[in-house]
Amino acid sequence: MVRKWAGRAILVYILYVAVMYWYIFYGADTGIPDALRGTAADPATFLNARELKLSEEYSGLRNFIFFVSTPFEWLLYFFILLFGISRAIEKSALAVSRRKVIQTGIYLFWLSIISYMALFPISFIGYRLSKSYHISTQSFTSWMKDGIIEFWVNFGMMFIIVSVLYWLMKKSVKKWWLYAWMLSIPFTLFMMFVQPVLIDPLYNEFYPLKNKELETEILSLASQAQIPAEHVYEVNMAEKTNSLNAYVTGIGSNSRIVLWDTTLNKLKEDEILFIMAHEMAHYVEKHIYFGIAGYLGLTLIGLWLTSKIMNYIIKRWGHLLKVHSVGSISSLPLFLLITAMLLFASSPLSNVVSRYEETRADRYAIEMTGDKESAITTFQELTRSGLSQVNPPFLVKWLRYSHPTMLERISTIEKADTKDD
C-alpha cells in the first residue's frame, strides 16, 4: 500500500512538472500587446537585445524553479509521514526525555534538518542561477551563512509555535484552532515590532542614510505626508545582489523606511524620491495594518480548515500515515502540508489585494512628486537590474506577483494625470 501511494504521488508530481515546463517555456503568452508596442512599457524601447534575451531566460527559469519547489515540499512532508519517518523521530524523542518541551525540541530539530537537507539542492540551484545571470553578487560562504541564520531563526520561532500549538491540541481537541488563532494575534504583532531591530540586522547592516542632502529631501516629503520620520535607513546589499529595492517594515516606534544601497548607487535622486514617496504611501494609507488584519483573518480561516482536514485525514488514513491522533507530535508534517497547500491556494487572493495597494502607492507617489518621467525610468531600471519579465505568464502573475507587472505599472503611469501636466 505504501509503495502504491508513493508511486502515485511521484507520478502526479512528474506529470505536473512536465505540464509546468511546457506552460512556462512554450505555452504561455508573454508578448507585448500591439497597443503598447513602442511605448515606454515595451521592453524593446529600454532594454538591448541581450538584456531582452536574458530577462526572458532568467525569469522563465526562476518561475519554473518556484513551481517545481512548491509541490516538492508538499511531497516531502507526505513521504515523511508515509514512510513512518515522523513516527520514528517521535519515538526517539520520547526515549530521550519525559518532558514535553524537550521532546518537541528534539522532534522539531530532526524534522528541520531533514527538510533543510531535502530542499537544499533546489535552494542551491536558485543561488547558482542568480549568480550565473549576475543578479546575485554573494559568495557561497555568505550565502551559506545566511542560510544557517535563517535555519536557526525559523527553528526558534517554530519551537515556540509548535510547543504552544500541540499543548493546545491536547488541552482542547475541538477548539485548539481558535485558541491558537487568538494567541497568534499578539505573537504576530510582537514579531512585526521586533523584526527591524532584532531579526533583520542578523542578515545585513542597517544605518541612517549617509547622503544627508538626500535624507533632507526625503524627510521633506515625509513632512508633506505628515509622517513622523526622523531617519531613512540604508542597508548594505551591494555585496549580495545587483537588484534594487526599498520597503517599509515594522510597526509602531520600530517602523522604518529602508533603502538598499544598490538603489542609491544606480538610481538618480528624482527616481529615489519617487520610490520614497511610494513607500510613504503605504504608511499614509495604513497598508501595513490592513495587511496584518488580512493575515489574521486568513489565519483564522486557515486554522479552522486545517483542524477539519487533519481530523478527516487521520480518521480515514491515519493508519497509512502512522499518525493516530491530531495531538501527537508525529502529525506535524501533516499540519505543515495542509497549511502550506492552503497558503498556496490563498495566494491569488492575497496577491490581488497587494497589487491593488501597490497601484494605490504608485498613484500617490506620482501625485506627490508630479514626476511621471522619473517614475517610468525607475521601473525601467528595476526591470533591467533584476532581469524581470515585463509581461509574465498568467499563472505566474496570479500565484507569484504581489506587485503589478512592469507592463501594467509603466503603462498606467503613462496614462496618469499629474499636477505638472
Give me the residue label for grid cell 507569484.
400
Burial of 379-389, coded b for 16+ CB within 10 Å and e otherwise, reads: bbbbbbbbbbb
Grid cell listed for 245: 529595492
Grid cell listed for 290: 490592513
Is 358 part of any known ligand binding site? Answer: yes
Q: Are strands 233-235 and 256-260 parallel, antiparallel or unpaired?
A: parallel
Helix, coil or strand: residue 145:
helix
Q: Active-site residue among 73, 90, 362, 371?
A: 362
CA angle 238–240–244, rounded 5-degree value: 55
Give the Cα separation of 223 and 284 in Å (integer).
11
Give the Cα separation of 258 and 359 in Å (integer).
20
DSSP 308-352: HHHHHHHHHHHHHHT---TTSGGGHHHHHHHHHHHHHHHHHHHHH
Are the beta carbons of 314 and 331 closer than 8 angstroms?
yes
Give the Cα separation of 323 and 414 in Å (integer).
57
Grid cell listed for 61: 527559469
**Nearest partner of 331 among 60, 77, 55, judged by Cα:** 77
Is 278 part of any known ligand binding site? Answer: yes
Are the beta carbons of 250 and 282 closer than 8 angstroms?
no
For residue 206, report the phi and psi dihedrals to the nearest 5 degrees.
-110, 140
Grid cell listed for 376: 517610468
**Nearest partner of 91 among 313, 312, 324, judged by Cα:** 324
Active site residue 230: no
Give the Cα separation of 186 and 3 in Å (integer).
44
Q: Active-site residue among 279, 357, 371, 408?
A: 279
Active site residue 279: yes
Counting other chains too, the contacts that 82-89 makes at CB distance below 8 Å and 24 or more residues apart are 82/2, 82/5, 82/6, 82/9, 82/320, 82/321, 83/2, 83/6, 84/322, 85/114, 86/111, 86/322, 86/323, 86/330, 86/331, 86/332, 86/333, 87/322, 87/323, 87/330, 89/330
- What residues form the annotated binding site? 278, 282, 358
| Catalytic machinery residues | 279, 362
- What residues form the annotated binding site for Zn(2+)? 278, 282, 358
